[in-house]
Amino acid sequence: MFFGKETSSYELNPDKMPKHIAIIMDGNGRWATKRSLPRKAGHKAGAEALEKIIYAAKDMGLEHLTVYAFSTENWKRSEEEVGAIMDLLRMYLKNYFKKFLKDNVRMDVIGDITRLDKDIQESILEIEEISKEKTGLFVHIALNYGGRDELRRAVGKIAEDVAAGKLAPADVTEDVITNALDTAGTPDPELMIRTSGEERISNFLLWQVAYSEFYFSEVLWPDFDKKELEKAIYYYQNRERRFGGRLK
């Protein structure tokens, strides 16, 4: 939710742009329900909104964009809805995501993809491989992702190194943990956005958002556009980032 002064336009300071924005794309189902449409129509509209936001972020010169597409908890939804989401993902991996590559957008997936169908896994690995030389906006898609699951897997990797004698327990620093996460090598997001009016992080990037600014928008994700993104960044630019310290 925006707590700053409302205005019809948001003039952004190019010197204070965040390098990394993370978004919880929430509200697809409610968007569809409000229009008496099936939930899968909301997910399709949400995918179209993501395409627009990717290009908006690219035009603004952002370096990283991480979006929460499918959580480890989303498997609890109906088989029909999960199937519709996976079919939509297949279409975007085959068509739209490859289109982004032509525009110098790099893409990867964070989360445990081993639960996804084999053809989806293969498409993900193909896109990651052919996009790794791209130098523009880096889009990170969170699929079968959960912050606690990510930490569990990271702890497992570190425990294996300790057991093998590659690492001493006393040497487990914050950097060691950070480098064991799915997001290793990616700067933490300065700004976390959640749409649809909900004000929680829902198990997303639990380690990485320790010092992020949070922006909660009332707008349902399919209606979230470039102007709404600018509004969120405007809010971020008018915050004083303290990182636990006092302002002078």
15 is catalytic: no
Nearest to 141 by CA among 106, 114, 193: 106
pLDDT at site 93: 87
Stretch 177-203: mean pLDDT, rounded?
97
Catalytic residue, from 26, 108, 182, 188: name it. Answer: 26
Stretch 233-238: mean pLDDT, rounded?
95
Stretch 189-203: mean pLDDT, rounded?
97
pLDDT at site 2: 47
C-alpha span between 235 and 193 (Å, rounded): 11
pLDDT at site 1: 43
pLDDT at site 5: 47
C-alpha span between 223 and 191 (Å, rounded): 20
Q: How far is CA 56 from the centre of its chain?
A: 15
95 is catalytic: no
Nearest to 48 by CA among 71, 32, 64, 61: 32
pLDDT at site 219: 98
Distant-in-sequence, close-in-space partners of 9: CB < 8 Å, separation ≥ 6 = none
Distant-in-sequence, close-in-space partners of 66: CB < 8 Å, separation ≥ 6 = 20, 21, 22, 23, 110, 139, 140, 142, 183, 186, 189, 205
The pTM assigned to this predicted structure is: 0.92
pLDDT at site 147: 98
**Is there a contact between 105 and 137 (Cβ–Cβ < 8 Å)?**
yes
pLDDT band at 242 (very low <50, low <70, confident <90, very high): low
- Lowest mean pLDDT of 64-73, 88-97, 120-129, 148-157, name the range: 88-97
What 3-state DSSP class applies to 95?
A: helix
What phi and psi, each to the nearest 5 degrees, are found at residue 72?
-65, -25
Mean of the per-residue pLDDT values of the chain: 92
pLDDT at site 155: 98
C-alpha span between 161 and 176 (Å, rounded): 11
Distant-in-sequence, close-in-space partners of 28: CB < 8 Å, separation ≥ 6 = 39, 42, 43, 45, 46, 220, 221, 222
Using CB atoms within 10 Å of the CB of residue 139, give its burial: 0 to 12 exposed, 13 to 18 middle, 19+ buried: buried
pLDDT band at 230 (very low <50, low <70, confident <90, very high): very high
pLDDT for residue 11 is more than 70: yes
**Percent of the chain, pLDDT > 90?**
86
pLDDT at site 85: 94
C-alpha span between 53 and 56 (Å, rounded): 5
pLDDT at site 95: 82
Distant-in-sequence, close-in-space partners of 235: CB < 8 Å, separation ≥ 6 = 2, 3, 4, 213, 215
C-alpha span between 236 and 33 (Å, rounded): 31
> 9 or 95, which is more confident?
95
pLDDT at site 245: 55
Catalytic residue, from 28, 74, 87, 175: name it. Answer: 74
pLDDT band at 4 (very low <50, low <70, confident <90, very high): very low
